[in-house]
């Protein structure tokens, strides 16, 4: 839902991050009539994930018309699944249309947030000192690259870099390249480079289950129709099959023994059996864990790409990197010219390394010593008027995080309304509410498919899935109306 109170107090807001969620927050605050809004962004332009990642083959595995703000439909998507540059351009266009860029301070990474005298004192890397009544932490999840520590990496003679720090000065055509990592990025890189490189070696400790998906281009006639009638865009965005699949997927996640997970397992198994012709390669690409235990890869062409004559599936552990390539534990040396680490991100960082100090000197690092968590993925005890978008324990999976952020904003806006109306100066969840939430969440999380026995970035340091363990519909219900009895209000 969208909740837009007419401001009664001249509240000041600081938004941290100008990615998808930060742009959303700034737009909604501006629409609600608030005048004192500033967005601090660590980079030199907006975009978040879509600014950071520029690798060949990058796209979103959520349908393009579903991966848009509900208030900003876009008729110009070229394909059913949008490419990274198109998504970046979309966010830039939305930012411009809604007049958000003047609110953004670029190249200003927030280094400290300290709560004093009912206000947040904020410092940035550029030396700015600011204050606000409310902080919106929209710093994202996947923005601290996980640089795999592989023995011998410093001996490699060629270029090497993380996929989120792509070196566009390195020529790729006709070269031999090793892609280390089996997540969505690794799969997309194989598909994006197999036609350009002499040899593509996909190094993967364990293979992934692949969900088939088609990615047709939208015709000019379809785009023209979308422009004339935005209801046609909604028909795609809220397509019954897509909505049903989202619900099926979240129900499957929540119960590892459900009929829904059996459907997913049957679909990915059929895809493997039908798509990979060579029985030896098929067995090499068969995962030894259950489907959706790790984030599913949706790909229209990975199996086709990995079966090309110049593609190699190197499945197993790496012994070391040598000057000329990647040496596997079985002794095989894959000689390459370039190494790309598609090894993901430090998903437990969130706003950190920013120093965040709450009420009575409570340090966020201390509050998150065991695991990062937030009440309903939005707020934290002892950190008043501090609200997170796509924070810890939020829903994760193969659906639109824009939808998640919009639902969270509806919830946050109602808490802000309590402050704005003067019913309180500060608001944060009680320790009892947080403890109850975490107890229920952890118990449920252990029975989700994420806890069925694989290693993934969904797991916290104790091996507990660090995500919303209930259905999508349950999250919608939780975000509809805050239970104010769960909050300390002063």
pLDDT exceeds 90 at position 74: yes
Question: What's the confidence (pLDDT) of residue 44?
Answer: 98
pLDDT exceeds 60 at position 5: no
Average pLDDT on 52-62 reads 95
pLDDT exceeds 70 at position 256: yes
pLDDT exceeds 70 at position 175: yes
What is the average pLDDT score of the chain? 94
**Residue linked to tokens 């459900």:** 258
How far is Cα 394 from Cα 387, in angstroms, rounded to an integer?
Answer: 13
Q: Which of 267-276, 282-291, 459-468, 474-483 has the lowest mean pLDDT?
A: 459-468
Q: What CATH number is given for 12-144+346-489 in this structure?
A: 3.50.50.60
How far is Cα 453 from Cα 435, in angstroms, rounded to an integer?
Answer: 26
How far is Cα 425 from Cα 119, in angstroms, rounded to an integer?
Answer: 9
- Asked if 286 contacts 210 with a C-beta cutoff of 8 angstroms, the reply is no
CA dihedral for 447, 453, 454, 459, sign (positive or negative): positive
CATH 3.40.50.300 corresponds to the domain 145-208+294-344 = no
CA angle at 400 for the pair 397 and 405, rounded to the nearest 5°? 105
Average pLDDT on 28-43 reads 97
At 139, the pLDDT band (50, 70, 90 cuts) reads: very high
pLDDT exceeds 70 at position 1: no
Secondary structure (DSSP) of 75-132: TT-SBSS-BHHHHHHHHHHHHHHTT-GGGEETT--EEEEEEETTEEEEEETTS-EEEE
Question: What's the confidence (pLDDT) of residue 112?
Answer: 98
pLDDT exceeds 50 at position 3: no
How far is Cα 370 from Cα 60, in angstroms, rounded to an integer?
Answer: 32
pLDDT exceeds 80 at position 7: no
Report the Cα 90 to chain-centroid distance in Å.
17
Q: Boundaries of CATH 3.50.50.60 in the chain?
A: 12-144+346-489, 145-208+294-344
Nearest to 475 by CA among 417, 427, 418, 411: 411
Could you report the per-residue pLDDT of 181-231, keeping only the tens digit for each? Answer: 999 999 999 999 999 999 999 999 999 999 999 999 999 999 999 999 999
Could you report the per-residue pLDDT of 84-103, keeping only the tens digit for each? Answer: 999 999 999 999 999 999 99
**Residue linked to tokens 């970035």:** 457
Percent of the chain with pLDDT over 70: 99
Secondary structure (DSSP) of 133-149: SEEEE---SS-SB----
How far is Cα 49 from Cα 140, in angstroms, rounded to an integer?
Answer: 8
pLDDT exceeds 70 at position 127: yes
pTM to 2 decimals? 0.95
């Amino acid at each position: 839902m969208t909740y837009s109170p007419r401001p009664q107090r001249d509240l000041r807001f600081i938004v941290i991050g100008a990615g998808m969620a930060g742009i959303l927050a700034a737009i909604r605050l501006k629409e609600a009539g608030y005048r004192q809004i500033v967005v601090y962004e660590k980079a030199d332009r907006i975009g978040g994930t879509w600014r950071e990642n520029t690798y060949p083959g990058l796209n979103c595995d959520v349908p393009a018309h579903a991966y848009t703000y509900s208030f900003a439909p876009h008729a110009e998507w070229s394909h059913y699944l949008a490419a990274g540059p198109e998504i970046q351009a979309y966010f830039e266009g939305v930012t411009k249309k809604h007049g958000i860029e003047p609110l953004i301070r670029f190249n200003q990474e927030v280094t400290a947030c300290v709560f004093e005298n009912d206000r947040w004192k904020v410092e940035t890397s550029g030396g700015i000192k600011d204050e606000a009544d409310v902080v919106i932490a929209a710093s994202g999840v996947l923005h601290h690259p996980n640089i795999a520590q592989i023995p011998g990496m410093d001996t490699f003679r060629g270029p090497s870099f993380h996929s989120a720090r792509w070196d566009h000065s390195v020529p790729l055509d006709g070269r031999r390249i090793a892609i280390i990592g089996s997540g969505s990025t690794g799969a997309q890189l194989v598909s994006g480079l197999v036609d350009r490189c002499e040899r593509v070696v996909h190094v993967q400790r364990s293979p992934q289950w692949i969900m088939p998906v088609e990615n047709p281009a939208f015709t000019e006639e379809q785009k023209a129709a979308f422009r004339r009638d935005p209801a046609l865009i909604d028909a795609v965005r809220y397509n019954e099959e897509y909505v049903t699949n989202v619900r099926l997927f979240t129900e499957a996640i929540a119960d590892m023994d459900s009929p829904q997970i059996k459907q997913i397992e049957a679909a990915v198994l059929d895809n493997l059996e039908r798509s990979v012709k060579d029985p030896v390669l098929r067995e090499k690409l068969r995962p030894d864990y259950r489907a959706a235990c790790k984030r599913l890869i949706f790909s229209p062409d990975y199996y086709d790409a990995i079966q090309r004559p110049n593609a190699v599936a190197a499945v197993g552990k790496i012994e070391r990197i040598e000057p000329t390539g990647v040496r596997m534990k079985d002794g095989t040396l894959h000689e390459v010219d370039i190494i790309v680490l598609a090894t993901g991100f430090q998903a437990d960082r969130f706003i950190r390394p920013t120093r965040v100090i709450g009420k009575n000197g409570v340090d966020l690092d201390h509050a998150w010593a065991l695991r990062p968590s937030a009440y309903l993925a939005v707020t934290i005890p002892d950190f008043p008027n501090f609200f997170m978008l796509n924070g810890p324990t939020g829903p994760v999976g193969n659906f639109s995080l824009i939808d998640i952020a919009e639902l969270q904003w509806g919830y946050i806006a109602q808490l802000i309304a309590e402050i704005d109306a003067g019913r309180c100066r500060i608001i944060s969840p009680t320790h009892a509410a947080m403890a109850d939430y975490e107890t229920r969440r952890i118990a449920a999380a252990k029975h989700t498919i994420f806890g069925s026995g694989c290693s993934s970035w969904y797991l916290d340091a104790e091996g507990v899935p660090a995500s919303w363990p209930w259905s999508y519909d349950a999250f919608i219900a939780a975000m509809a109306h805050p239970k104010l009895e769960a909050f300390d209000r002063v």
